[in-house]
Structure 1
Amino acid sequence: MTTRMTTGITRMSLENARVLMVTDCNPQSQLFIDYVRQQLDCQVSALSTQESFVPPADRKVVVLLDADHVDENCMHLWNSRASESPEMILAAFNLRDDEHAAELLISLHLQGVFYRQDNLLLICKGIAKLLEGDLWMSRNLMTRLIDFYRRQQLNAYRPVCGLTHRELEIIGLLGTGASNTEIADQLFVSEHTVKSHLYNIFRKIKVHNRIQAMNWARQNLGAPPMTSLRSARKARTS
């Protein structure tokens, strides 16, 4: 006999809540959905990465991004949606470890983190806490985040490896995965100028390629300016 999990959330608030899994829709994910629905007694459904979703304005929605099936670009798209919808609570599951979670948290506003080794009952408890308005992260991960943002505060008051303001703009855009052409369009400069700046940036931060520079930017400069780049792309395609 299955016992429904007891949480601090009232039955009424659960009935008005929704859990949405963004994943590969298959029999295994359906079993997970059925379990969460039974434990929390709220609406639970799955959505593939290709399907669209309009968040309801009158209820909280916990969106669970499956790291095994949702790529980085799709995660950033959901992050943008969540920033425009105060009722949407973004979380990721099937993460490998704290290192994997920390990488995502640099550029995503995740309020919950679940790992591959987490059992289903623990995940349900975490979802319930998210619906209550709490964060759901390990103590070790929270400590790492606090240390990271402390370093960010220090960097705000001193030059970063001697990079100029324009070089910081360029490497910030590089951290979003932007091409040289996109960076040039965003900053209203030529591609030759971007290449010259990148050469100087690589030399100053002691990296040899774009991937290393992107990782350096995400570790040392914080969340990249996704909004401004996204706006520029939208303007060019409209």
Structure 2
Amino acid sequence: MDEVKARPIEILDSNTVPRVENQINTIYLIADGGIQMDVFLEYIEKAINSTVTFIESSSLNEELLETKDALFIIDYSSKRKMTDIANTLSVGSEDSITVLINVDSVEIEDLICWKNLYGCFGVQDSLDQVSRGLMKVLQRINWLPRYVMMELIEYFQNNGTDVKLQKVAATSLTRREMEILEQLKSGEPNFVLAQRLNVSENTIKVHLYNIYKKIEVKNRRQAIDWTTCYIP
């Protein structure tokens, strides 16, 4: 695989990103199999230091879908099966998330059908790029190329989706970041928010740093104003 062309969303270095409380530990690779997938599976397991369970595309079942806090990595090269797989995953756990790999070309209408899509990797992405992206996704940090984000925004705008969803899609806020934004409305200092959310004050600061960059504000006051406008 060659170097990725699409630049992912800017995020903090992995050494400064705190371990989140609901970090994902159960990982499934949904594909048709083959030598290429065997190589990919072995490389990814070593790179992210986690076990990845291989599942044939035709072997998805209800018991598997009930797994909470699971990551489903979908090999997008078998496009003829994608609709069926997306529909099957749509009835699974609300806490599970999805990542697409080996994406050559895809219409935006095809992307929005995936439940909790957190990552999208092209056929030209290197194994190292995919590995680094998956490390972020396991912390529930979105890893979507900028062109995908722009297409999502345009889709929402053209289809009358409300402003809140447009803005959240544009900034790719995580569930924890949304929660912290809600708490900002109280006007309490960081150490109070940390106690309320049962995390360290440094974790709050790191989350706020990410939030400010994503919603394009410079300080706490502007973040509160943004929250009041878009998250009533």
Letter in 2 for 1:140: Y
Letter in 2 for 1:89: I
Shift of 1:57: 6.4
Shift of 1:66: 1.0
Q: Give SS of 1:134's match.
A: coil
Deviations 1:124-172 (A, max 9, x none): 11112111112211112101111110111179xxxxxxxxxxxxxxxxx
The total of aligned residue pairs comes to 146
Matched residues in 2 for 1:33 and 1:26: separation? 11
Matched residues in 1 for 2:159 and 2:60: separation? 35
Matched residues in 2 for 1:64 and 1:128: separation? 13
Q: Give SS of 2:94's match.
A: coil
What 5-or-longer segments of structure 2 have no aligned partner? Answer: 1-13, 163-232
Structure 2 residue aligned with 1:80? 90
Matched residues in 1 for 2:37 and 2:67: separation? 26
Do 1:95 and 1:101's aligned partners in 2 also have CA atoms closer than 8 Å? no
Percent of residue pairs identical = 19
- TM superposition outliers: structure 1 runs of 4+ over 6 Å: none
Structure 1 residue aligned with 2:175? none
Higher relative contact order (CA 8 A, sep 6+): 2
Structure 1 residue aligned with 2:113? 107
Deviations 1:56-111 (A, max 9, x none): 86753211111112513323333323xx40231112111114xx152421332322
Task: Determine if the alignment matches structure 1 residue 122 to structure 2 residue 122.
Answer: no
Structure 2 residue aligned with 1:91? 99
Structure 1 residue aligned with 2:152? 145
Q: Which has the higher helix share?
A: 1
Q: How does 1:171-210 map to 2 (within 5 A)?
A: none
What 5-or-longer segments of structure 1 have no aligned partner? Answer: 1-5, 156-238
Q: Give SS of 2:160's match.
A: helix
Matched residues in 2 for 1:124 and 1:87: separation? 22
Structure 2 residue aligned with 1:44? 52
Matched residues in 2 for 1:61 and 1:39: separation? 18
Q: Which has the larger radius of gyration?
A: 1
Matched residues in 1 for 2:18 and 2:56: separation? 28
